[in-house]
């Protein structure tokens, strides 16, 4: 109980005083995407370039600086395809795809002459109009960045800036001014539902753990984000790690826990690094550890790397992994709230859920409920990817329509050339391997837990993969089935063997071996796997298959009965053909064919014998006129 009580107001005041000396601030996005594209080298170039220009530069606020330009890093700013991203304050100039070679021009034009570098500004695709700030860009205009707001502003490795922005005030309030029941009641009144996919009321989960007999209890942050194309939790952990810690602190207060684990997959090294630094900084400053805020309560947090098993996203499998066992689910009940980590009552929440908690205590449950819908309050982050003009990390209130997300925030669907056209939309896969497909008829469906469940889909972790009309839906279903089959832990027969057999049936369909018994058998097997599997992975594994069968059955039937893929994507079902109007009769294709399947006279259109063709593609590579298709 000897740790010094942290004085948040003094720390915020000291940081604010130092911040007053900042004339300008350059914020570089240092999320994984931008770092991979060279953001850290751009950061170095700014520091060196400003010094070379004879201007004062600041890289860390200590309160002793003279007036100058602060060069700082932030977490993911969302517009990933346009990175590295640079924002110059106070003007708010927003530069995209910044390279080291651009830094000198930004310093001269913006820092010295106070003008924007127009060629680095985002320009609207149709009009070409330049956007000076994020407020002018449709991708940002249509969002409501609530949980993600600080990710693109604060330095994720500076605890003092987090405190300056109001950080740890909610945790102080919970520990000093509220009882555990009052904390649970406030979260329950907010209507917050778990953002990891299931949508279970967070306050109820906490209260069920709180009422367990007193003794050792644990709180766990589930950072094992494994869905293909999903990077919401990673971005929050990288961009604002302290809000995740603060959410865990409040959860610990609510249930009476004195120890917790942040379970993060090892493929997220930057998130692991920043979380570990955040924990160390919070302990050093006195926000975490012994006698938190003088309350007499302790909390120790550990950062643990997971081995990358998708099944460890399931609560009981994650608990087994933390205990050093193989990550495999166990039957419920008992639920983790009753018997979790090492048999003790345990609360597990995902990253986005925990990051939302401090904001709810800060603004109050009533204000929080003003966002979203009655049964799904608040906002949700989505990873928007696929055949869409604007890809990246977005956040919108629950109840926002799919049309708003894809057509406005996403900028519309792109064709195979990358051009936006209004006629290309085919489907959206939502919720990753556990989710389902939404079609054109669902474009005006509000995105919330209950609406999506009513059409056989789910919010899931928040992956949104947009597909155009050149996409084969059978191949999409096979891709997700391959993933879930590989990730099955093998504990229960229906999941282990059922997903394997479903994958084999899908292979039969796309390779031309299917017959009239295939589709009924696939559906029957999918329902059996759904009903009989032990955990969420197995129960939801058939969702992509069942939803595509429901909405794109004609496409399946074309593969099975006509032996034809309508999109031409399934190689085994392609019909080799030489287009007569393009063929010049040069005989180059015939000379390259290893099986002699091509015949024809010189300067006359040639033909392919489909029975002989092995679809090796040698003829298409040899043809200079694009006359050969289907190989």
| Per-residue pLDDT reduced to its tens digit, 555-603 | 999 999 988 898 888 888 877 889 999 999 999 999 999 999 999 999 9
| Per-residue pLDDT reduced to its tens digit, 472-494 | 999 999 999 999 998 888 888 99
For residue 374, tell me if it sits in a domain: no
CATH number assigned to the domain comprising residue 323: 3.40.50.11540
Residues 425 and 349 in one domain: no
In this predicted structure, the answer to whether residue 294 has a pLDDT above a threshold of 80 is: yes
Residues 229 and 332 in one domain: yes
In the chain, % of residues over pLDDT 90 = 72
In this predicted structure, the answer to whether residue 385 has a pLDDT above a threshold of 80 is: yes
- Contact yes or no for 499/311 (Cβ under 8 A): no
Q: What is the pTM of this model?
A: 0.89
For residue 449, tell me if it sits in a domain: yes
Q: Residue 372 and residue 354: Cα distance in Å, rounded?
A: 18
For residue 147, tell me if it sits in a domain: no
Residues 413 and 499 in one domain: no
| Per-residue pLDDT reduced to its tens digit, 398-419 | 999 999 999 999 999 998 877 8
pLDDT at residue 1, as a whole number: 42
| Per-residue pLDDT reduced to its tens digit, 85-103 | 999 999 999 999 999 999 9
CATH number assigned to the domain comprising residue 511: 1.20.1440.230
Count of domains forming the chain: 5
Residues 347 and 198 in one domain: yes
Give the count of beta carbons closer than 10 Å to the beta carbon of residue 613: 19
Residues 13 and 94 in one domain: yes
**How would residue 71 be classed by pLDDT, with cut points 50, 70 and 90?**
very high
Residues 234 and 359 in one domain: yes
Residues 301 and 189 in one domain: yes
Residues 337 and 394 in one domain: no
Of 340, 368, 396, the residue that ends a domain is: 368
In this predicted structure, the answer to whether residue 628 has a pLDDT above a threshold of 70 is: yes
Residues 321 and 409 in one domain: no
In this predicted structure, the answer to whether residue 461 has a pLDDT above a threshold of 80 is: no
pLDDT at residue 3, as a whole number: 54
**How would residue 2 be classed by pLDDT, with cut points 50, 70 and 90?**
very low
Give the mean pLDDT of 170-190: 97
For residue 82, tell me if it sits in a domain: yes
CATH number assigned to the domain comprising residue 398: 3.10.20.600
Residues 202 and 345 in one domain: yes
pLDDT at residue 283, as a whole number: 95
CATH number assigned to the domain comprising residue 624: 3.30.70.20
**Which element (helix H / strand E) includes 52?**
helix 39-52
| Per-residue pLDDT reduced to its tens digit, 219-272 | 999 998 878 777 889 999 999 999 999 999 999 999 999 999 999 998 899 999
Handedness of CA 531, 532, 534, 538 (dihedral sign): negative
Q: Could you give the strand order of the β-sheet that contains 436-439, starting from the edge strand earlier in sequence? A: 392-397, 379-386, 463-468, 425-430, 436-439
For residue 90, tell me if it sits in a domain: yes
Residues 421 and 481 in one domain: no
CATH number assigned to the domain comprising residue 122: 3.40.30.10
Query: Which segment of 90-99, 119-128, 135-144, 519-528 scores lowest on mean pLDDT?
Result: 119-128
For residue 158, tell me if it sits in a domain: no
Residues 394 and 530 in one domain: no
> In the beta sheet, which residues pair with residue 350?
222
For residue 153, tell me if it sits in a domain: no
Of 337, 368, 399, the residue that ends a domain is: 368
Of 79, 108, 142, the residue that ends a domain is: 142
Give start and end residues of each alpha helix (H) in 191-295: 202-210, 232-239, 241-255, 269-285
What is the four-CA torsion angle of 260, 282, 169, 145, rounded to 10 degrees? Answer: -80
Of 348-352, 388-392, 617-621, where does the model show the most confidence?
348-352
In which residue are the tokens 């009552």 written?
345
In this predicted structure, the answer to whether residue 449 has a pLDDT above a threshold of 80 is: yes
Q: What residues make up the domain containing 414?
A: 379-471
For residue 154, tell me if it sits in a domain: no
| Per-residue pLDDT reduced to its tens digit, 481-529 | 999 998 888 888 999 999 999 999 999 999 999 999 999 999 999 999 9
């Amino acid at each position: 109980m000897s740790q010094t009580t942290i004085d948040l107001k003094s720390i915020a005041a000291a940081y604010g005083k130092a911040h007053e000396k900042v004339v300008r601030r350059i914020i570089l996005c240092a999320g994984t995407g931008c770092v991979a594209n060279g953001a850290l080298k751009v950061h170095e170039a700014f520091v060196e370039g400003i010094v070379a220009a004879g201007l004062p530069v600041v890289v860390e606020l200590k309160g002793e600086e003279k007036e100058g330009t602060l060069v700082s890093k932030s977490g993911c700013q969302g517009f990933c395809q346009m990175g590295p991203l640079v924002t110059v304050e106070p003007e708010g100039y927003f530069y995209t795809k910044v390279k080291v070679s651009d830094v000198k021009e930004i310093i001269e034009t913006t820092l010295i002459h106070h003008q924007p570098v127009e060629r680095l500004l985002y320009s609207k695709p149709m009009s070409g109009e330049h956007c000076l700030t994020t407020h002018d860009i449709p991708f940002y205009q249509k969002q409501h960045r609530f949980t993600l707001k600080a990710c693109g502003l604060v330095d994720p490795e500076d605890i003092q800036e987090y405190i300056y922005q109001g950080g740890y005030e909610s945790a102080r309030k919970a520990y000093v001014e509220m009882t555990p029941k009052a904390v649970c009641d406030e979260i329950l009144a907010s209507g917050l539902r778990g953002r990891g996919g299931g949508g279970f009321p967070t306050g109820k989960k906490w209260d069920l753990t709180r009422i367990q007999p007193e003794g050792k209890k644990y709180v766990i942050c589930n950072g094992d984000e494994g869905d293909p194309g999903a990077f919401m939790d990673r971005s929050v952990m990288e961009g604002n790690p302290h809000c995740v810690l603060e959410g865990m602190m409040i959860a610990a207060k609510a249930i009476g826990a004195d120890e917790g684990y942040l379970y993060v997959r090892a493929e997220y090294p930057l998130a692991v690094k920043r979380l570990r630094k955040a924990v160390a900084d919070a302990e050093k400053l006195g926000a975490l550890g012994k006698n938190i805020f003088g309350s007499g309560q302790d909390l120790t947090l550990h950062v643990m790397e997971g081995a990358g098993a998708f099944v460890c996203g399931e609560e009981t499998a994650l608990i087994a992994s933390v205990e050093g066992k193989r990550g495999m689910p166990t039957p419920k009940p008992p639920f983790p709230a009753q018997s979790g980590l090492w048999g003790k009552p345990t609360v597990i929440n995902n990253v986005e859920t925990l990051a939302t908690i401090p904001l709810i205590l800060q603004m109050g449950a009533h204000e929080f409920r003003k966002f979203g819908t009655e049964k799904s309050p608040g906002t949700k982050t989505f990873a928007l990817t696929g055949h869409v003009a604007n890809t990246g990390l977005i956040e919108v209130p629950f109840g926002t329509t799919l049309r708003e997300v894809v057509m406005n925030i996403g900028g519309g669907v792109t064709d195979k050339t990358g051009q936006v056209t209004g006629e290309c939309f085919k489907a959206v896969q939502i919720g990753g391997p556990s989710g389902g497909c939404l079609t054109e008829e669902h474009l005006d469906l509000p995105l919330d837990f209950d609406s999506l469940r009513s059409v056989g889909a789910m919010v899931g972790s928040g992956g949104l993969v947009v597909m155009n009309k050149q996409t084969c839906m059978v191949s999409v279903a096979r891709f997700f089935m391959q993933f879930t089959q590989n990730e099955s832990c093998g504990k229960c027969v229906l999941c282990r063997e059922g997903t394997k057999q479903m994958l084999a049936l899908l292979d039969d369909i796309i390779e031309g071996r299917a017959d009239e018994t295939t589709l009924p058998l696939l559906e029957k097997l999918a329902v059996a796997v759904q009903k009989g599997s032990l955990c969420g992975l197995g129960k939801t594994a058939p969702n992509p298959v069942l939803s595509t069968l429901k909405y794109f059955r004609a496409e399946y039937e074309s593969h099975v009965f006509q032996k034809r893929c309508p999109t031409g994507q399934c190689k085994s079902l392609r019909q080799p053909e030489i287009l007569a109007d393009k063929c010049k009769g040069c005989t180059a294709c015939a000379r390259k064919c290893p099986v002699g399947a091509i015949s024809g006279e010189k300067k006359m259109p040639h033909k392919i014998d489909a029975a002989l063709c092995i679809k090796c593609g040698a003829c298409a590579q040899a043809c200079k006129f694009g006359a050969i298709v289907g190989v």
